[in-house]
Chain A
Amino acid sequence: MKTKSNCRKMPGLFFLLLMITVSLCFSSCSFLGFRTSIRLSETSIDLASNVYLVERHLPIVELKCECQPLWGVPFTLMLQRNSEDDSVELSEFVLYETGRRGLSDKRIADQPFFLLDVNTKAAIEMRQKERLQQIYPQNTEYDHKTICAKACAYKEIDDGAEFYGGDTLKFMEGDHLVAERDVILVFKPKALKNGRKYKIEFTPRVNNKAVPPVAYHFRQVKNNNAIAWTVGLAAIIGFLVLTTR
């Protein structure tokens, strides 16, 4: 016998209206600068949203980790400009090896960083003459503007681009960085040693003024696929055995 659906009445419309009202209210409040009462702990801010609004007129610059911060060490850089006139430079990406027993932090020179993703146009101004010479050997006059124009064009950031500590990352004209949550780029240092502790530090310059450096400590830990699969499947089987009655 074919039966026909006749569902139990649910307060669907009421719920829907309530959700729309709440959403609109929150959106408006957020738009007007409303502060929600939920305060994240200091640790969560350190770990997940290390954001500093340095001065009222300066952009927000953030260095944060991806969802799984310590696996593969990708860093997401987030940035907000308060006006289109703000200029932002990110330079001095410096990597240190830390946690050396009885020794101070060791600066790792010329550490290449590997860009994984970028959401806006940006360019790297390469300040190291030697490397510019490698790229443009025919250029004998290293006029800054010429070099920058060429170097920037050459190194316009795309997925997979590399840059080095000491390079400056400039955001080009027309970039739109006013959104609250722009993920600008995701990068990670190359060739880290498993199990070692590191610190990454960078000093942004905003409107040609230095702002306090932002640092992040991390430890390089590699995925162990065999362990993950063993534990994962054991967890699935164990849970189903325990909950199947």
Chain B
Amino acid sequence: MKSKTSLRKNYIFLFAVFIFLTMRVHAQNIVAPASHWGGLMYPNLEPTKEIGLQFANFTEFDKNKEVDGVCLTDDPRGRYNHIEETIGFNILAISQTRNLIRKDKFQSNFLYQSALLFGFTSDQPTEIFQNEVIHSLAGLCTVPRNKKRSDPFLLGYSGQLNYNFFALDRSSQSSIQFSPTPIFAGAGFSFGTVMQELFTQIGFHNYKFLNFRATERWFYFSFSAMSRLGVAYKGLVFDNIANQYMANQASIRLHLLAYSFPINLELAVTGHSGVFLNDAVSAENAVSVNDVVPLPEYFYSLRLEMGSFIFETFNDQLGGKDKGPTYGVRVSYRLLPGESLAKKALAGLFKLPIFRNLL
């Protein structure tokens, strides 16, 4: 009962922060935890504002063993590492990407993407979603929990500076065109209660291929890939992590109905050298200091963009496991430049019949 009250308070707090921040700020985190859970890391190369909710689950154990088609209770297939608790991240992320003010050519094409993260750790709703929805629908054994982490408040800020390369080219009418290329390079940082990071990255985003004039109205494909190298330092949530990592991501995006009703569907694979270590707490699983290495991770990710909404989910199934950084979900709303969610919400509110009658 007490925990339910506490959870309710957390949600009320998150809601209050949400309302307060949306007065001016606008959303999406680009680093921990999502980037280490397989979330898409590509930077925005256009001025954009997003606000979104994120859920990520770190599970202490793998799913329960199955014997003769029957799932055993509280008998997991194994544990992940020394972290003796299951952690559910519930995060409100608000981000903004903007062109920096530029005084000369050399400074041009720089985009700064910043994100604020607020949230708390609790095993709900990630546990229900994992065990009661996904594992239930897939007919899999549940993932057991022992100790569950509960932090009342998570806070984080991240920023990254990216350079988007442009090219001068000629059109078929021989006029000179000034076109953005998909190539970017950048560096960033993140600090907060989860962990601290510094990173550099390079890659390209949405390079078109299989793009034919006859069919592009209906569909075409684009390809993206990037590499990120980072150094990490412990935070309050994760106190013993790898001090550097490398993450590589590649994705293919299907663009549907680009001229009339654009829908984008992106499928990504991520290889991560790992930020979590293979050390263990119990005596029988103890690893000597020299053998402690990061646990590499592999993820599948799916991203769907429809209208102003972005839906994204990522899963560690590519790595053949169901423990540690196991899955995550993000839902974001993209605001147009100049828009703020508070203005939109208020405008919507005053359209309600009760307010129309009052006015």
Give me the interface of A with B, judged by CB distance under 8 Å: 1, 3-8, 10, 12, 15-16, 19-20, 22-23, 26-27, 30-31, 33, 35-36, 38-45, 47-49, 51-54, 60, 62, 66-72, 74, 76, 80, 115-117, 119, 159-160, 176, 178-183, 186, 219, 221, 223-225, 227-229, 231-233, 235-237, 239-241, 243-245
- Which B200-258 residues have a C-beta within 8 angstroms of A? 200, 202, 207-208, 211, 213, 216, 227, 229, 231, 240-246, 258
Is B86 interfacial (CB-CB < 8 Å)?
A: no
Question: How far, in whole Å, are A8 and B246 apart by their CA atoms in the complex?
Answer: 12
Closest to B265 in A: A235
Question: How far, in whole Å, are A33 and B48 apart by their CA atoms in the complex?
Answer: 28
B246 touching A10 by the CB < 8 A rule? yes
- Which B141-175 residues have a C-beta within 8 angstroms of A? 163-169, 171-172, 175
Closest to B169 in A: A39
A40 touching B244 by the CB < 8 A rule? no
Closest to A176 in B: B103
B259 touching A223 by the CB < 8 A rule? no
B337 touching A239 by the CB < 8 A rule? no
| Cβ of A88 to closest chain B Cβ, rounded Å | 16
Question: How far, in whole Å, are A229 and B336 apart by their CA atoms in the complex?
Answer: 19
The residues of B that contact A245 with a CB separation of less than 8 Å are 138, 140, 317
A7 touching B242 by the CB < 8 A rule? yes
A45 touching B175 by the CB < 8 A rule? no
Q: Which 3 A-B pairs have the closest CB atoms?
A: A116-B338, A232-B311, A3-B279
Indicate which residue in B108, B185, B292 contacts A179 across the interface (CB closer than 8 Å): B108
A31 touching B105 by the CB < 8 A rule? yes
Closest to B287 in A: A3
20 additional contacts, CB 8 Å, given A26-B165, A54-B175, A231-B304? A3-B287, A4-B289, A8-B293, A10-B246, A12-B244, A23-B163, A23-B185, A31-B106, A36-B167, A40-B179, A42-B171, A43-B211, A48-B180, A49-B177, A219-B259, A225-B309, A235-B304, A244-B138, A244-B315, A245-B317
Are A41 and B208 CB-contacts (below 8 A) given A178-B105, A179-B105?
yes
Question: How far, in whole Å, are A60 and B287 apart by their CA atoms in the complex?
Answer: 62
Chain B interface residue count, CB cutoff 8 Å, equals 98
B102 touching A68 by the CB < 8 A rule? no
A223 touching B307 by the CB < 8 A rule? yes
Is B342 interfacial (CB-CB < 8 Å)?
A: no
The residues of A that contact B345 with a CB separation of less than 8 Å are none
Indicate which residue in B242, B292, B306, B317 contacts A232 across the interface (CB closer than 8 Å): B306
Is B183 interfacial (CB-CB < 8 Å)?
A: yes
Indicate which residue in A7, A69, A229, A237 contacts B294 across the interface (CB closer than 8 Å): A7
Question: How far, in whole Å, are A221 and B241 apart by their CA atoms in the complex?
Answer: 47
Is B5 interfacial (CB-CB < 8 Å)?
A: no
Is B273 interfacial (CB-CB < 8 Å)?
A: yes
Question: How far, in whole Å, are A12 and B258 apart by their CA atoms in the complex?
Answer: 40
Question: How far, in whole Å, are A34 and B226 apart by their CA atoms in the complex?
Answer: 23
Question: How far, in whole Å, are A69 and B216 apart by their CA atoms in the complex?
Answer: 15
B140 touching A228 by the CB < 8 A rule? no
The residues of B that contact A16 with a CB separation of less than 8 Å are 200, 229
Are A49 and B178 CB-contacts (below 8 A) given A7-B243, A72-B336?
yes
A30 touching B166 by the CB < 8 A rule? yes
Indicate which residue in B82, B202, B336 contacts A66 across the interface (CB closer than 8 Å): B336
Indicate which residue in A6, A42, A76, A178 contacts B292 across the interface (CB closer than 8 Å): A6
Indicate which residue in A6, A39, A53 contacts B175 across the interface (CB closer than 8 Å): A53
